[in-house]
Chains A and B, each alone.
Chain A
């Protein structure tokens, strides 16, 4: 138990770094069309692995730290507000769905992706005082479901590969 703290901190550092790289790589991948708030959510792979492999609190710490650090390095106060809202809402919903034990990792990830997009467009509408942004909602729901599905499948494969990993 004694070195559990150190081990845990090391894994936090590793996973946060990995999530930040994903956040960055994501900005390099061109999407065929753009809707505000839409993204692949590659960093969510890390959150999923942390959620399933480590636990609720660990996933929250890693996701929160990644969002804060990414915003400090690459973003601004506005992007921080969007990311935090999206990250917090999607993590909350994913934790809830996982606790029901009725859904697999793919379903949890889909719900997370969709809620992330809804939260982001909501915050954008509030900050910009532009209610019309709600027109993007259907597209964001569908793209959130698709990317969430992909991330969930990848996360599931990773968890299988990591079944024997020591964290």
Chain B
């Protein structure tokens, strides 16, 4: 039964599956992107609890020392990790975050940097 590889590697059902999966991804993306709002605070979570919190609008650089070191930079309303001593450096590679709910994760140090709405969502109004 297992011996015979199918002669056609891409069948019609495969295409339908791929297109379907991509559609689901696109729809989810639109739904999530439209629900996003600008954040107000940068929370540093360690093991799921907020350990530190800073306003997103004030530029600063913070040295985080939880299970290791991560350098958090807050600049022009965005947050990013510029340096870290974790083995994979994946937190440094992640893009900058600014919208409510966006996160930067450093798995080895079990640190999550998250944008939260904080007080009255730093925004006067949105014109579209």
Contacts and interface: CB of A to CB of B under 8 A. Distances in A.
A78 B114 contact: no
A65 interface: no
Interface in B1-57: 2, 5-6, 8-11, 13-14, 17-18, 21-22, 24-26, 28-29, 32, 36, 45, 47-48
B103 interface: yes
B65 interface: no
Nearest to B9: A156
Interface range on chain A: under 10, 10 to 19, 20 to 34, or 35 or more? 35 or more
A39 to B, nearest CB: 11
Nearest to A108: B14
Interface in B98-115: 101-103, 105, 107-108, 110, 112, 114
Contacts of A114: 21
A141 B28 contact: yes
A104 B29 contact: no
Interface of A: 27, 33-36, 52-55, 76, 78-79, 102-107, 110-111, 114, 124, 128-130, 132-135, 137-139, 141-142, 144-145, 149, 152-153, 156-157, 159-160, 163
